[in-house]
Amino acid sequence: MCNTEQLVSYVYEELSASERVEFERHLSDCAECRQELAELRGTRHLLASWAPPQPEFNFHIVRGAAPPAAPSRRLAFVPQWALSAAAALLLAAGVAAVANLEVRYGTDGLVVRTGWMHGPAAGSPSGAPAGNAAQATPVSASSDQLQRNVELLAARLRDLEQAQAAQLTRAAAPARAAVTAPELRRILAELESRQRTEMALQVSQVWKDFSAARVNDYTRLQDVVSRAQGVTNQQLRQHRDSIESLYRTASQR
């Protein structure tokens, strides 16, 4: 090749008039340059067949730059699956071994406690004070309590769903901020991550409470059994003493 820069300039018609005349004179004498010119033009012809997709655009700049406000309540953005999982966990715990259930929802979020011998929780429908842990609750009463608490929990979940729906409705309102798709994805990813973290913390808290209640109940159960066993042993001793006394009396006669 003689002069590739001139050749490229000629292909793209960026030579001045005088340069062009001069180069065409060269072309008439140089078969190699003519061949190269033909190849370049052929390649350019092929390039014309590559068309990008034609997506629909709806991007535009709007006034204002306020980012979406963070949810004020911890469970405001908990997804449906997480609420369902929490409900399933609670029901499973109740069915497994729990005869008493405490459901509390406050500023610190949803708190669920389970146990054999807990009294009714503060804020429960009965309005009773926090239960005396040492007082055993009849099984029938515990089942009623469990039923009430499950209903309370279901009502709470419905409230949360409604709150979430309201939040989504507000989010669907015309945006005030100029947000691009990457920013939106980042915000959504952050929200999702935060939700997961909070949900994990809450599930972890439920599990810790459940475990602690089980240990507590087991300890108390052991106490009751031991006490019962102590009573039984005492009675056995009394029976044995009585029998021995009767035996001795009979022998003396």
Based on CB atoms, which residue is closest to another protein, 3 or 234?
3
Binding status of residue 66 toward another protein by CB under 8 A: no
Q: Which of 66, 182, 251, 253 forms a contact with another protein (CB under 8 A)?
A: 182
Q: Which is nearest to 126 in space by CA: 112, 107, 141?
A: 141
Give the CA distances from residue 252 to residues 45, 100, 245, 247, 248, in Å, rounded to whole numbers and listed in that order.
131, 58, 11, 9, 6
Binding status of residue 17 toward another protein by CB under 8 A: no
Binding status of residue 53 toward another protein by CB under 8 A: yes
- Compute φ and ψ for 111, nearest 5 degrees: -120, 130
Total residues at the site for another protein (CB under 8 A)?
A: 37
Residues β-bridged to residue 102: 113
What sections of 138-180 are H helices per DSSP? Answer: 139-172
Binding status of residue 253 toward another protein by CB under 8 A: no
Residues 141 and 119: their CA atoms lie apart, in Å, by 11
- Compute φ and ψ for 81, nearest 5 degrees: -65, -35
Binding status of residue 218 toward another protein by CB under 8 A: no
Q: Which of 22, 24, 41, 234 forms a contact with another protein (CB under 8 A)?
A: 41
Based on CB atoms, which residue is closest to another protein, 44 or 237?
44
Do residues 103 and 147 lie in contact, with contact meaning Cβ atoms separated by under 8 Å? Answer: no
Binding status of residue 61 toward another protein by CB under 8 A: yes
Cβ at position 172, least distance to another protein in Å: 20
Binding positions for another protein, rule: CB under 8 A: 4-5, 7-9, 12, 14, 34, 37-55, 57, 59-63, 178, 180-182
